[in-house]
Amino acid sequence: MKVLVTGGAGFIGGHLAQQFVRDGYNVTTLDNLDPFYDTEIKNHTIEQCRRSASTGHGTYEFIEGNVTDEDLITDLVADADLVYHQAAKAGVRPSVKNPREYDEVNVDGTLNILDAARDTDCTRVIFASSSSVYGKPQYLPYDEEHPTTPISPYGASKLAAERYACVYNEVYDLPIVGLRYFTVYGPRMRPNMAISNFVSRCHASEPPIIYGDGTQTRDFTYIEDIVAANQTLLQSDSADGKVLNIGSTDNISITGLAEVIRDQINTDLELVYDDARQADAEHTHASVEKAADLIGYSPSYTIKEGVMEFVDWYRENRDWYEPLVRSS
């Protein structure tokens, strides 16, 4: 089976591609190597995927290109049995400065994928949505029936892409599954995220910096749980036409997160607080009952367990990864 992973050199897409190769699939990845963060991390991901392919299970091909390239997308999707559309312009705060760029990549790029898949025998398009589509909570945890009122251009672009996918399922009978990820973290994660920043600063004997009063809460999801949810959809059609939350069923305050990381690395450090950042959500927390019912999703990691795993990985990979975090 041939699997196309867009955004396949990125954090989530790279982990999916590597696992699919290990599972014996023939994987093509597309990525434009956007320097939103240091591309050395993406190059490291590509190399890890190539090493997995060299063991003789599945095959791996990397193509540098953009989902906004309609002709390229048409050709790649035509040659794929399954499409995992993970490519997106990331970042809530940067989207406030340049919303049109997020529309071009996240909405028009997704439409290119959907148009190409509609005209082929593609079995299924699994696409990455985001908890950012919910915006301000009317209740927690979020279930999929919660109103979607995003508060950032990034969230709006992800919701628009999601709505288009559902329309293509309804009108053109294109099998799609949308996964609303809740703040994913783990090995090779983006270096400009709270967890990676906290870990880096603590290792350097510098206090974690918390933006806002620290009472904000997040549902952080460990990358292995994200991969497991996506693996299920390689064969299962039980969620076709649906959008599902993929989270940890757990949440933690930002102060609590900083304390967990600080206490693992350097208990002598004090926490430091700074001004809140624009367009950040106050709270996120996922209900995953729908994903449990439809695809048997059951997250394996609590936030504290996942953070401990990441800290261990960070220590083992500190030589190459930490300089990239520090420069972000």
pLDDT tens figures, 5-48? 999 999 999 999 999 999 999 999 999 999 988 999 999 999 99
Q: What is the DSSP string of 163-210?
A: HHHHHHHHHH---EEEEEE--EESTT--TTSHHHHHHHHHHTT-PPEE
Q: Is the pLDDT reported for residue 243 higher than 80? A: yes
Rounded mean pLDDT of 46-75? Answer: 96
Any idea which architecture 2-182+222-248+288-299 has in CATH?
Answer: 3-Layer(aba) Sandwich (3.40)
- The amino acid at 179: L
**What amino acid positions are annotated as catalytic residues?**
154
The whole-number pLDDT of residue 246 equals 98
**Range with the poorest average pLDDT among 54-63, 247-256, 270-279, 285-294:** 270-279
Q: What percent of the chain has pLDDT over 90?
A: 93
Domain ranges of the chain: 2-182+222-248+288-299
Predicted pLDDT of residue 18: 97
What is the pLDDT averaged over residues 134-140? Answer: 94
**Is there a contact between 167 and 115 (Cβ–Cβ < 8 Å)?**
no
Say whether pLDDT at 135 is over 90: yes
Residue 175 exposed, middle or buried by CB count within 10 Å (0-12, 13-18, 19+): middle
- CA dist., res. 112 & res. 148, Å (int): 24
Query: pTM for the full model?
Result: 0.96
